[in-house]
Amino acid sequence: MDLEKTFPEGSAEDLEAPPLSLSKMAWMRFRRHKMAMFGASLLLFLLLFSFAGALFFSEGYANYTNTDIRLTSPNSAHPFGTDPIGRDILARTIYGGQISVIIGLSAAFVMVFVGIFVGSISGYFGGWIDAVLMRITEAFISIPRIFLVLVMAKFFSNKVPDITIYGSTFSGSVVVIILIIGLTSWMSLARIVRAEFLSLKENEFVVAARSTGTPTWQIIFGHILPNTIAPIIVAATLGVASAIIGESYISFLGLGVQPPTATWGNMLDGAYQYIQTAPWLWIFPGGLILLTVLSINFVGDGLRDALDPRSRLI
């Protein structure tokens, strides 16, 4: 066959616009978003604080109690002051940051996993499967979160052992918290994923895959799911922020991670009685929570704009 005569359009390289992959375009759009870039830098700084900061203080030091210097306000030896039993707050916020971030990321992971699973199956199959899964989702939404938290805390307490990863020991209560937050916040993502599936499954590339004979699970996870990445990433990012807040108030209720492991949340709990007398007890952990959540939200905003499928082709 004479290619030139019959199909003369040439290859994509002849098109003027340089081929940009979808992630490159998204990154370009993200960079234009000033708040998002600011949030990303702040987040980077906070992560460095928590993880690189551990190089300066050992965990033992963070948990070292010295009742002689209890409740001292910020000074040169203890830049963030000391807590009611003499532990250095700076070191505790560093390690607390690690835990809070780990809890945030892991809880978000649980949330995304369950949300995707429920949403995709519900959205793709419809019918009674959808009905049952949606009723379950609605049940989770309708029950007040505090109630779920209390019930799950009771259920899981003392049932989960401490785990050791990479040489550091995490108390079982950390895993409990992760499960509690994750299992009480997947619902909105499930609905989002379901809505995406409902609309995407009518798209012609899905019909094309069906006419090819592609097995259903490959269609769900190989074809449709990658096209729902944008809202999932945004939801996951914001999920980390809400998990960090969630941890703080669960710990504030005394149901969260138990001391001596420090988290920003249980540090706030410990500050409750000293709100006016020793404000440094809550200003530092509270401020760090605030900054982290704020920066995650900025990044989430930027991601949402950058990944907006409507403007995919600039």
Partner 1 sequence: MTTNIGTLLEVRDLNVCFHTPEGIVHAVNGVSFKVLDGETIAVVGESGCGKSVCMMSILGLIPQPPGEITGGKAYYKGKDLLGLSEDELAPFRGKEIALVFQDPMTSLNPVLTLERQVTEAIIKHERLDKNNARKKALTYLEWVGIPDVGRRLSDYPHQFSGGMRQRVMIAMMLALKPSLLIADEPTTALDVTIQAQIIELVKEMKKQFGMSMIWITHDLGVVADLAERIIVMYAGTIVEEAGVDDLYKRTKHPYTLALLAALPRVDHRRDVAKLRSIRGSPPDNLNFPKGCPFAPRCDYVLDQCWTSKPTLEYVADGHLAACWVNVETGKPRL
Partner 2 sequence: MIELPGSLSAPLVKVDRLVKYFTITQGFFFQRKMLVVRAVDDVSFQIASGETLGLVGESGCGKSTLGRTMLGLYRATAGSVKIDGKEVGSSKGKEMMEIRREAAMIFQDPFASLNPRWTVNSIISEPIRVHKILNGKKSREKRVAELLELVGLSRRDVNRFPHEFSGGQRQRIGIARALASQPLFIVCDEPIASLDVSIQAQVVNLLEELQRDLGITYLFIAHDLSMVRHLCTRVAVMYMGLIMELAERDEIYENPRHPYTQALLSAVPIPDPDAARKRTRIVLKGDVPSLINLPGGCRFHTRCPIAQEHCSLIEPVWREIKAGHWVYCHEVEPKFLPGE
Residues near partner 1, by CB under 8 A: 4-6, 8-10, 14-17, 314
Which of partner 1, partner 2, none does 68 bind, CB closer than 5 to 8 A by kind?
A: none
In the bound complex, what is the minimum distance in angstroms from residue 203's beta carbon to partner 2? Answer: 5
Residues 6+ apart with CB under 8 A from 1: none
| Locus of tokens 């006016």 | 276
Which of partner 2, partner 1, none does 314 bind, CB closer than 5 to 8 A by kind?
A: partner 1
Q: Which two tokens stand for residue 302?
A: 């930027």
Residue 8 found at the interface with partner 2 (CB under 8 A):
yes
Residue 13 found at the interface with partner 2 (CB under 8 A):
yes
* Distance set, CA 202 to CA 38, 39, 205, 242 (Å): 39, 37, 8, 33
* Distance set, CA 53 to CA 48, 91, 171 (Å): 7, 8, 21
Provide the strand spans (E) within 156-198. Answer: 163-165, 168-170
In the bound complex, what is the minimum distance in angstroms from residue 26's beta carbon to partner 1? Answer: 15
Which of partner 2, partner 1, none does 31 bind, CB closer than 5 to 8 A by kind?
A: none
Closest-CA residue to 192 (of 302, 116, 305): 116
Q: Which long-range contacts (CB under 8 A, 24 or more apart) does 74-77 make?
A: 74/280
With contacts defined by CB under 8 A, how many residues of the chain interact with partner 2? 33
Closest to partner 2 by CB, 18 or 167:
18
Closest to partner 2 by CB, 194 or 223:
223
In the bound complex, what is the minimum distance in angstroms from residue 23's beta carbon to partner 1? Answer: 18
Closest-CA residue to 198 (of 230, 223, 234, 224): 224
Closest to partner 2 by CB, 15 or 143:
15
The stretch near partner 2 (CB under 8 A) out of 54-62, 201-209, 234-242, 266-274 is 201-209
The per-residue b/e assignment along 192-202, b for 16 or more CB within 10 angstroms, e otherwise, is bbbebbeebbe
Closest to partner 2 by CB, 2 or 68:
2
Closest to partner 1 by CB, 23 or 169:
23
Q: Which of 211, 276, 277, 310 binds partner 2 (CB under 8 A)?
A: 211
Q: Which of 79, 215, 254, 287 binds partner 2 (CB under 8 A)?
A: 215
Closest to partner 2 by CB, 6 or 142:
6
Residue 16 found at the interface with partner 2 (CB under 8 A):
no
Q: Which of 141, 208, 275, 290 binds partner 2 (CB under 8 A)?
A: 208
Closest to partner 2 by CB, 13 or 68:
13
Dihedral (CA of 269, 275, 278, 284) sign: positive
The stretch near partner 2 (CB under 8 A) out of 72-80, 159-167, 211-219, 281-289 is 211-219
Closest-CA residue to 92 (of 231, 239, 268): 268
* Distance set, CA 119 to CA 116, 131, 145, 187, 204 (Å): 5, 12, 20, 9, 21
Which of partner 1, partner 2, none does 161 bind, CB closer than 5 to 8 A by kind?
A: none
The per-residue b/e assignment along 155-182, b for 16 or more CB within 10 angstroms, e otherwise, is ebeeeeeeeeeeeeebbbbbbbbbbbbb
What SS3 class is residue 7?
coil
Binding mask 227-256 vs partner 2 (x if CB under 8 A, - otherwise)?
A: x-x---------------------------
- The angle formed by the CA atoms of residues 114, 137 and 113, to the nearest 5 degrees, is 5
